[in-house]
């Protein structure tokens, strides 16, 4: 295991009606004037926003609202939010929604306290300080409710890039699994896929002797394998939703990623797909991961064979571990298809003729030097082959 520092100070309020505590929590964490940030229609339609607004008012917290965050959130609304927050003297960001809303709120929180262009943080500059952010999560997926990360798409060039800093970890996150019961099945499945991707990206490591985090990841993958079909079959299954919601947080606040190198090539390759086609991030990952895994599995065949046996129930073939490894990847892909995720470019709405453009932005966009690295380093030729495997 490698040396690590781990600081994860988010306070979690979990369970039914937890959102009613929003006002008190903002106060507890020092907020007096809130920018209430949300997405399209879902939070208003479900009545959640009304309850949150009342909770703020009851606690004596004033607020201004900025809705309209789109999935794969854009820089345009971030600039708008920064202006609004400065003008109104906002001192706290409250995000009501999924990863897109939370990431947009984090970007605004960093941008308000910075004199330059907030995009600097998404092209290499470290975020040192940000306004405090609280979240009320409505979809178990991105893990942004506990993570130090934010992913934004710059409209000019459609670059989708991330930044990470402990200053961006939410001060509190409200997790009420019942809020996720209104999700369409496709979004539920895309969220589950993203959670499993966050686990695989950490599982694919070059660090030795990391049994504790390996086992944590396997337990979380097994949980997702068990619970996801249960919520697809019954969207109102609160207990299954609760297990998935907490798994999504633990999968990405880095509890199971400390002390080990991590991959993230699947995420980088996918981000170009959701930037170009505006597909759900999880759906893009469902198509990306099996291709990446098959392409890189020979780098450490026993790691892929191990997850195949421990999570996917495959029989270990000691003479031909590559057979076991491949069986595990195929079992994972079949599972993703069974919950309604796409399996190739066509089902995702991606186009073969765009591959050169995807590879160019992936490997050269925004300062990259012709390759991406993680579990293995992938150059333009590798990335082209991987996208072609998704056809």
Binding residues for ligand NZQ, rule: CB under 6 A, are: 39-43, 71-72, 97-101, 103, 138-139, 141-144, 147, 149-151, 179-180, 182-183, 187, 191, 194, 252, 267, 281-282
Looking at the Cβ atoms of 180 and 228, the one nearer to ligand NZQ is 180
Residue 361 C-beta: closest distance to Zn ion, Å: 18
Looking at the Cβ atoms of 76 and 322, the one nearer to ligand NZQ is 76
Burial of 9 per CB tally in 10 Å (0-12, 13-18, 19+):
exposed
Looking at the Cβ atoms of 33 and 238, the one nearer to ligand NZQ is 238
Looking at the Cβ atoms of 151 and 390, the one nearer to ligand NZQ is 151
Residue 343 C-beta: closest distance to ligand NZQ, Å: 19
Residue 38 C-beta: closest distance to ligand NZQ, Å: 7
> Cβ distance 122 to 154 under 8 Å?
yes
Residue 98 C-beta: closest distance to Zn ion, Å: 11
* 3 state SS of 66: strand
Token pair belonging to 306: 């191990």
Residue 44 C-beta: closest distance to ligand NZQ, Å: 8
Looking at the Cβ atoms of 243 and 288, the one nearer to Zn ion is 288
| Phi, then psi, of 40 in degrees rounded to 5 | -85, -105
- What is the C-alpha separation between 251 and 194, in angstroms, rounded? 10
- What is the C-alpha separation between 66 and 163, in angstroms, rounded? 22
Looking at the Cβ atoms of 130 and 141, the one nearer to ligand NZQ is 141
Residue 28 C-beta: closest distance to ligand NZQ, Å: 24
- What is the C-alpha separation between 52 and 334, in angstroms, rounded? 40
Rounded to the nearest 10°, the torsion over CA 293, 340, 104, 23 is: -120
Looking at the Cβ atoms of 34 and 142, the one nearer to Zn ion is 142
Q: Which of 370, 387, 368 lies closest to 379, judged by CA? A: 370
Residue 302 C-beta: closest distance to Zn ion, Å: 26
First to last CA, the chain: 38
> Cβ distance 206 to 261 under 8 Å?
yes
Beta bridge partners of 102: none
Q: How many CB atoms lie within 10 A of CB 209?
A: 10
Q: Which of 272, 251, 273, 271 lies closest to 262, judged by CA? A: 251
Looking at the Cβ atoms of 142 and 167, the one nearer to ligand NZQ is 142
Residue 34 C-beta: closest distance to ligand NZQ, Å: 18
Give just the sign of the alpha carbon dihedral 338, 339, 345, 347: positive
Which 165-204 residues touch Zn ion, going by CB under 5 A?
A: 194
Q: Which of 274, 95, 256, 264 lies closest to 190, judged by CA? A: 274
Q: Which of 205, 192, 262, 378 lies closest to 389, judged by CA? A: 378
**Residue labelled with tokens 């490894």:** 325
Enclosing H/E stretch for 26: helix 22-28
Looking at the Cβ atoms of 289 and 309, the one nearer to Zn ion is 289
Q: List alpha helices for 320-372, DSSP H.
A: 321-338, 345-348, 355-364
- The site partner of 131 among ligand NZQ, Zn ion, none (C-beta below 5 to 8 Å per kind) is none
Q: How many residues does the chain have?
A: 391
Residue 281 C-beta: closest distance to ligand NZQ, Å: 4
Residue 386 C-beta: closest distance to ligand NZQ, Å: 18
Looking at the Cβ atoms of 99 and 111, the one nearer to Zn ion is 99
Residues that bind Zn ion (CB under 5 A): 194
């Amino acid at each position: 295991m490698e040396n690590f520092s781990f600081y994860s100070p988010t306070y979690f309020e979990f369970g039914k009606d937890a959102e009613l505590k929003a006002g008190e929590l903002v106060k507890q964490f020092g907020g007096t004037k809130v920018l209430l940030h949300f997405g399209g229609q879902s939070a208003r339609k479900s009545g959640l926003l009304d309850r949150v607004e009342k909770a703020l008012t009851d606690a004596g917290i004033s607020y201004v609202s900025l809705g309209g965050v789109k999935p794969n959130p854009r820089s345009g609304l971030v600039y708008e939010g920064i202006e609004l927050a400065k003008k109104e003297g906002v001192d706290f960001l409250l995000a009501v929604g999924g990863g897109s809303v939370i990431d947009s709120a984090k970007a605004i929180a960093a941008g308000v306290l910075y004199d330059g262009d907030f995009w600097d943080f998404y092209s290499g500059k470290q975020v040192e300080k940000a306004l405090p952010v609280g979240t009320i999560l409505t979809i178990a997926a991105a893990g942004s409710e506990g993570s130090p990360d934010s992913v934004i798409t710059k409209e000019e060039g459609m670059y989708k890039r991330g930044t990470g800093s402990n200053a961006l970890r939410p001060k509190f996150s409200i997790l009420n699994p019942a809020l996720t019961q209104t999700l369409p099945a496709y979004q539920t499945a895309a969220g589950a896929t993203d959670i499993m991707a966050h686990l695989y990206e950490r599982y694919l490591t070059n660090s030795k002797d990391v049994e504790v985090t390996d086992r944590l990841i396997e337990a979380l993958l097994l949980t997702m394998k068990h619970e996801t079909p249960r919520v697809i079959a019954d969207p109102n299954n609160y207990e299954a939703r609760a297990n998935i919601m907490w798994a999504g947080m633990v999968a990405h606040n880095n509890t199971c990623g400390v002390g080990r190198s991590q991959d993230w090539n699947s995420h980088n390759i996918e981000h170009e797909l959701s930037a170009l086609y505006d597909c759900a991030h999880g759906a893009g990952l469902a198509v990306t991961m099996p291709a990446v895994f098959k392409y890189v599995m020979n780098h450490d065949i026993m790691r892929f064979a191990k997850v195949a046996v421990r999570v996917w129930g495959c029989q270990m073939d000691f003479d031909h571990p590559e057979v076991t490894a491949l069986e595990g990847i195929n079992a994972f892909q079949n599972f993703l298809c069974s919950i309604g995720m796409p399996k190739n470019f066509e089902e995702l709405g991606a186009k073969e003729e765009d591959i050169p453009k995807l590879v160019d932005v992936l490997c050269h966009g925004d300062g990259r030097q012709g390759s991406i690295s993680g579990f293995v380093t992938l150059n333009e030729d590798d990335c082209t082959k991987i996208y072609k495997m998704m056809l």
